[in-house]
């Protein structure tokens, strides 16, 4: 798969401070999460990709376009939703989004049509003629999303899109992001410090810590791999049952209280375990897939010095 | 399909040429200006001066009208360099007030609400943004100054005939370039002040202050130090000197409207005036370069 973003020893320094430290990665997912604690460099990385900061060393490519030498082409492909409030107070919502679409190169009539569509798409159709200054925080967030998608970018950069939203508004925002992702028309990068947002929306995650890549994981692969790990709680499941399970091709470890951990090879189904248990008169009282959640991955990444890239 | 039934879809239609994208900003700014009754009326009132001047020129060459008014052409002031300089001075004063009303609202609302990252995350550079904002003033002030000035010049040339226009081409040139010096100065200054003072009324006050307080301060320097170099910070003095030089008019005869008039014996070397105006423009550009950024650099 062609990379969406390639980071090539990307480094950014402000004076003596190194903000991004030789980042290298190739991101190919449809929805890529940028995770990290506050000050890890997530927003700075997005700002660097947008050309707001010139890299001190190295470079990055977005869909093959170099951010240093082809900044205009890069920005042609991007829709950006910044973290903080960003709007022109006196303007109505639809006029503001229309202006932004025109600046992106759409002719005025098409820009106006798409501004209306974008407003309906994010669910603000009814208030689109009101000045943005009178919008609530949630409406302002949705307006930022509308202006980011109105010109039909290929890559959407979302910086903390659920910031300051109440739970229903957050749900709505996450659902919109998932809808956009599932339509398959564009790639998106979601920067957040909220693990849940990233876990719900993204299939790849880049975890940053102090300007370095602390971990990079493919959540899809991780989810698939997790399906092979099982934890069983049995009654009367002793050494004989474990030996029988191993004969199926599983790797297993058991403790004396009847708990068994096993790794299922390809081709072995869970119902075979139940059949084996019935044969040996062992009760399987609980069966769990091991769930190495994003939280575990994140905590591991925060503990270690370097990730598992 | 009704617009509310549409969902997100790709855009595959035509795009505007990249060079024309900066023109989006003046179009929206002018739409907004049109909504202000005061600004619209003020702008329209700016055409009264050229209209009166056109009538005056017409009167000069209409014997019937002169007879009706019982005056002779010799009693009327001549249509010469002084006339055009006076016209430029008056229109430039109106241009100054229009800039003071329009200018502060150009950049400050974008900075106050952090809208710059949205502009600059598109295929739209910082310089296109500045040019777009400046072009609002370039257009409005041109319509008030050199555009009607050249029309008056053409009217005079047409009515006099006999190669007057060709003989006095220097006047048209002085009118054109003199206007542009003033327009450029205002168009650099207003966005720069607007960018640094995010609150619109304060930006307006600072704009006035830059002209009047600096002029007062310059006069104080002149008095205390018994020199004329204080005029270097008096913008109207600098512009008045440049105009007098362009129109080849002696300074003591005044250089346009009161605002740009220069007292006797206060003139400075013309290259100093040019250098000071260029310096102010460059400083404004530097201020804009510092402020117009997608993201602040915190070192």
What are the pLDDT digits (tens) for B77-94?
889 898 999 999 999 999
CA B97 to the chain's CA centroid: 10
Q: Is A106 on the interface with B (CB under 8 A)?
A: yes
For residue A106, what pLDDT is reported? 95
Question: Residues A43-70: pLDDT tens digits?
Answer: 999 999 999 999 999 999 999 999 999 9
Ramachandran angles phi, psi of A80, nearest 5°: -125, 130
| Pairwise CB contact (< 8 Å): A84 & B109 | no
Q: Is B109 on the interface with A (CB under 8 A)?
A: yes
Closest-CA distance, B283 to chain A, in angstroms, reads: 22
Provide the pLDDT confidence category of residue A309 given band limits of 50, 70 and 90: very low
> Within 10 Å of residue B158's Cβ, how many Cβ atoms?
12
Q: Is the dihedral of CA B283, B288, B291, B293 positive or negative?
A: negative
Ramachandran angles phi, psi of A215, nearest 5°: -165, 155
Structural contact between residues A158 and A177, judged by C-beta atoms closer than 8 angstroms = yes
Question: Residues B109-139: pLDDT tens digits?
Answer: 899 899 999 999 999 999 999 999 999 999 9
For residue A307, what pLDDT is reported? 44
What is the token pair recorded at B132?
A: 């777009």
CA torsion B76-B79-B84-B85 (nearest 10°) is: -60
CA B9 to the chain's CA centroid: 44
Closest-CA distance, A103 to chain B, in angstroms, reads: 6
Return d(Cα A28, Cα B10) in angstroms, integer: 20
Angle at B240 between CA B235 and CA B246, to 5 degrees: 130
For residue A308, what pLDDT is reported? 44
Structural contact between residues A52 and A226, judged by C-beta atoms closer than 8 angstroms = no
Closest-CA distance, B116 to chain A, in angstroms, reads: 8
Q: Where are the alpha helices (DSSP H) in chain B?
A: 24-35, 37-45, 48-60, 63-69, 81-102, 104-112, 116-120, 126-144, 146-160, 164-167, 169-196, 200-225, 235-246, 270-291
Query: Which residues on chain B are in Cβ contact (under 8 Å) with A105?
Result: 15-16, 18, 21, 122-123
A160's torsion region: left (phi>0), alpha (psi -120 to 50) or beta?
A: left
The Cα diameter of chain A in Å comes to 76
Q: Is the dihedral of CA B244, B247, B252, B257 positive or negative?
A: negative
Question: Domains of chain A (ranges plus CATH)?
Answer: 5-223 (3.40.50.300), 227-289 (3.30.70)
What is the token pair recorded at A290?
A: 């091991």
- The ranges assigned to domains in chain B are 21-47+79-149+167-291
Question: Residues A233-248: pLDDT tens digits?
Answer: 888 777 888 888 888 8
Q: Where are the alpha helices (DSSP H) in A80-188?
A: 93-103, 108-121, 137-149, 167-182
| Pairwise CB contact (< 8 Å): A51 & B294 | yes
- Stretches in chain B below the pLDDT threshold 50: 255
Q: Is A107 on the interface with B (CB under 8 A)?
A: yes
Q: Is A17 on the interface with B (CB under 8 A)?
A: yes
Over chain A, what is the mean pLDDT?
89
**A155-159/A78-81 β-pairing:** parallel
β-sheet bridge partners, residue A284: A234
3-state secondary structure of B21: helix
Return d(Cα A103, Cα B23) in angstroms, integer: 9
For residue A164, what pLDDT is reported? 82
Residue A143 has pLDDT above 60, yes or no: yes
Structural contact between residues B146 and B40, judged by C-beta atoms closer than 8 angstroms = no
Which of A52, A50, A140 has the alpha carbon at shortest distance from A96? Answer: A140
Determine the straight-line distance between the first and last CA of chain B, rounded to whole angstroms: 52
> Within 10 Å of residue B96's Cβ, how many Cβ atoms?
24
* ipTM of the modeled complex: 0.85
Residue A167 has pLDDT above 70, yes or no: yes
For residue B299, what pLDDT is reported? 61
Interface of A with B in 41-100 (CB under 8 A): 47, 50-53, 72-73, 75-76, 78, 80, 82, 84-90, 95, 99-100
Tell me, yes or no, if the pTM score tops 0.90: no
B226's torsion region: left (phi>0), alpha (psi -120 to 50) or beta?
A: left
């Amino acid at each position: 798969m062609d990379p969406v973003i390639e980071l090539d020893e990307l480094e950014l320094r402000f004076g003596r401070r190194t903000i991004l430290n030789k980042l290298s990665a190739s991101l190919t997912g449809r929805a890529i999460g940028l995770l990290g604690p506050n000050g890890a460099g997530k927003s700075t990385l997005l700002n660097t990709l947008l050309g707001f900061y010139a890299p001190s060393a190295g470079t990055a490519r977005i869909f093959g376009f170099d951010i240093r030498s082809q900044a205009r082409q890069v920005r042609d492909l991007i829709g950006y939703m910044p973290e903080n409030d960003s709007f022109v107070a006196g303007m109505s919502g639809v006029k503001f989004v229309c202006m932004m679409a025109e600046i992106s190169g759409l002719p005025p009539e098409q820009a106006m049509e798409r501004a209306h569509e974008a407003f309906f798409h994010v669910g603000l159709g009814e208030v689109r003629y009101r000045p943005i200054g009178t919008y609530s925080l949630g409406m302002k967030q949705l307006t930022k999303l509308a202006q980011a998608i109105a010109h039909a970018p290929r890559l959407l950069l979302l910086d903390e899109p659920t910031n300051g939203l109440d739970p229903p508004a957050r749900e709505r925002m996450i659902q919109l992001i998932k809808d956009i992702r599932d339509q398959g028309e564009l790639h998106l990068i979601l920067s957040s410090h909220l693990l849940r947002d990233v876990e719900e929306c993204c299939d790849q995650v880049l975890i940053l810590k102090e300007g370095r890549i602390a971990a990079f994981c493919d959540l899809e692969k991780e989810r698939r791999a997790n399906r092979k790990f099982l934890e069983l709680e049995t009654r009367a499941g002793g050494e004989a049952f474990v030996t029988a399970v191993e004969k199926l091709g599983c790797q297993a470890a058991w403790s004396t209280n009847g708990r068994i951990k096993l790794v299922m090879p390809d081709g072995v189904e869970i119902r075979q375990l139940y059949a084996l248990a019935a044969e040996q008169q062992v009760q399987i009282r609980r069966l769990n897939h091991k769930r190495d959640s994003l939280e575990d991955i994140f905590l591991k990444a925060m503990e270690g010095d370097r990730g598992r890239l | 399909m009704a617009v509310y039934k549409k969902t997100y879809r790709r855009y595959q239609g035509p795009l505007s040429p990249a060079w024309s994208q900066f023109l989006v900003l003046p179009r929206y700014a002018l739409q907004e200006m049109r909504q202000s009754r005061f600004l619209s009326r003020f702008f329209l009132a700016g055409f009264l001066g050229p209209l009166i001047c056109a009538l005056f020129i017409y009167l000069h060459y209409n014997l019937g009208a002169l007879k009706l008014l019982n005056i002779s052409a010799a009693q009327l002031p001549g249509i010469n360099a002084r006339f055009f300089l006076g016209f430029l001075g008056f229109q430039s004063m109106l241009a100054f007030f229009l800039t003071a009303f329009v200018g502060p609202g150009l950049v400050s609302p974008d900075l106050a609400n952090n809208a710059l990252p949205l502009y600059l995350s598109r295929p739209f550079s910082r310089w296109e943004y500045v040019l777009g904002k400046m072009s609002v003033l370039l257009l409005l002030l041109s319509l008030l100054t050199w555009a009607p000035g050249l029309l008056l010049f053409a009217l005079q040339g047409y009515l006099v005939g006999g190669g007057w226009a060709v003989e006095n081409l220097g006047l048209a040139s002085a009118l054109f370039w003199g206007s542009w010096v003033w327009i450029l100065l205002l168009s650099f200054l207003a966005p720069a002040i607007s960018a640094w003072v995010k609150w619109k009324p304060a930006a307006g006050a600072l704009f006035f202050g830059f002209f009047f307080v600096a002029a007062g301060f310059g006069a104080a320097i002149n008095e205390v130090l018994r020199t004329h170099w204080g005029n270097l910070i008096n913008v109207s003095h600098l512009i008045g000197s440049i105009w007098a030089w362009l129109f080849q008019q002696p300074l003591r005869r005044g250089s346009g409207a009161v605002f740009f008039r220069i007292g006797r014996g206060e003139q400075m070397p013309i290259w100093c005036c040019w250098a000071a105006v260029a310096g102010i423009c460059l400083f404004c550009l530097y201020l804009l370069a510092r402020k117009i950024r997608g993201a602040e650099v915190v070192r």
